[in-house]
Amino acid sequence: MKRVILIVLDSFGIGAAPDAEAFHDAGTSTIRSCAKSPFFNLPNLKKMGLFNIDGVTVGQKEQNPIAGYARMQEASMGKDTTIGHWEIAGIKSLRPLPTYPDGFPREILDEFSKRTGRGVLCNKPYSGTEVIQDYGDEHVKTGDLIVYTSADSVFQIAAHEDVVPVETLYEYCHIAREILQGEHGVGRVIARPFIGESGNYTRTPRRHDYSLKPPRDTMLNQIQKAGKDVLAIGKINDIFAGSGITEFVYTSGNEDGIDKTLEYLKRDFDGLLFVNLVDYDMLYGHRRDIDGYAKALAYFDKKLPMILSELKDDDVLMLTADHGCDPGYQLSTDHTREYTPYIFYGNNIKSGNYGTKDTFADIAATVLHLLDLENNTDGKSLL
């Protein structure tokens, strides 16, 4: 058996990409902002070589890092979760997914209202925490759904759990996903349930994502077709619309995701364990919470020795990210166009600097190389 464990620290960027200015993100660096916090303490990631990666100017470099490391540049035309993960899994998206800075077209909303029987509020880019405060009362009064978007390719539906039961909200998301195809095929439809009373509405952890299916096979499909395991933790199953996944489990947050990773590592499997830890992005990056982000990184670093202790002789652990979300950036609360880290560790992995790579897809090619499978991705193996 061969096991590859790929953990995505969602949004942990390490500095502005060369084309960041085109995405209005010049000068951003998630890691630099986090390093300003007194809670930024990553001794185990330091040992692996995090601060030795090209262009990283924070932290103290490790004289003898124990892992291989590289700086990854996104080739896809976007900076959202969906195409970031698709590229990690081997697909470059050279055409951006549709975004809606002026709201969704009337024909989309009319069809959505016709099929759900409910009206629509908002229909413009909005902060997820602010939109429920500004439109929550009207939603509770009328039952109309709060539909909003962001700089990403997303169609988000917020509804109070006492007005629209969560399972019904999920059904509405299925309807939206059926409508939003082709020209209007957004990356994700997202259920955003909330609770509370006027002036004090809060989102619940029962969010659910409904992603567009990848346009062609990813490394996940290749691994599955070879008869191997593709185990998904967190929102990985949603991001890939279940394509290529043999088993999945959702999580309630980073701590739960790390615990479930440790549980899976105690099992025998042959293939890939693919993990997404979303709190860095969802709870701290978008909310510009530098200390919260730094604390979450420090928590992962503290748990890292436990993860390493569960590795078998032929296992390879990989750590990366899908984009940035600089908590110190004041011009917006959106994702930021950044380089991402790539750290890979195992008994048979040569430690040291593998340089800067021009696509996340090299990660998929490396995974397939380690699993002795043919590389049909857009990347090249680092090995």
Write out pLDDT tens, residues 288-301. 999 999 999 999 99
Residues 346 and 317: beta-carbon distance below 8 Å = yes
For residues 298 and 170, give the distance between their C-alpha atoms in angstroms, rounded to a whole number.
Answer: 34
* CB burial of residue 162 (10 Å; 0-12, 13-18, 19+): exposed
CA–CA dist 14, 287 (Å, integer) = 18
Same domain, 174 and 217: no
Tokens of 49: 């070589």
- Average pLDDT across the chain, whole number: 97
Mind listing the pLDDT tens digit for each residue in 135-194? 999 999 999 999 999 988 999 999 999 999 999 999 999 999 999 999 999 999 999 999
Q: Which of 23, 177, 24, 154 is nearest to 98 (CA)?
A: 154
User: Considering the domain boundaries, does residue 137 fall inside one?
Assistant: yes
**Domain total of the chain:** 2
Per-residue pLDDT tens digits for 113-142: 999 999 999 999 999 999 999 999 999 999
**Calpha distance 301→50 (Å, rounded):** 11
Show which of 164, 192, 210 is a domain's final residue: 210
Domain of 125 in residue numbering reads as 106-210
Per-residue model confidence as pLDDT tens digits over 58-71: 999 999 999 999 99
Q: Six-digit token pair at 189? A: 């439809």
Q: Are residues 306 and 240 in the same domain?
A: yes
Beta carbons of 135 and 122 less than 8 angstroms apart: yes
What's the rounded Cα separation, in Å, for the pair 163 and 136?
11
- CATH code assigned at 325: 3.40.720.10
Average pLDDT over residues 199-209: 93
pLDDT, tens digit, 9 for 90 and up, residues 26-50: 999 999 999 999 999 999 999 999 9
Q: How far is the C-alpha of 58 from the C-alpha of 280, rounded, in Å?
A: 19
What is the Cα–Cα distance from 339 to 269, expressed in whole angstroms? 31
Residues 212 and 187: beta-carbon distance below 8 Å: yes
With contact defined as beta carbons under 8 Å apart, do 104 and 166 qualify?
Answer: no
Give the pLDDT of residue 184: 97
Per-residue model confidence (pLDDT) at position 152: 87
Distinct helix (H) and strand (E) counts, the chain: 12, 14
Task: Determine the pLDDT at residue 279.
Answer: 96
pTM for the model stands at: 0.91
Q: Is 295 among the domain residues?
A: yes
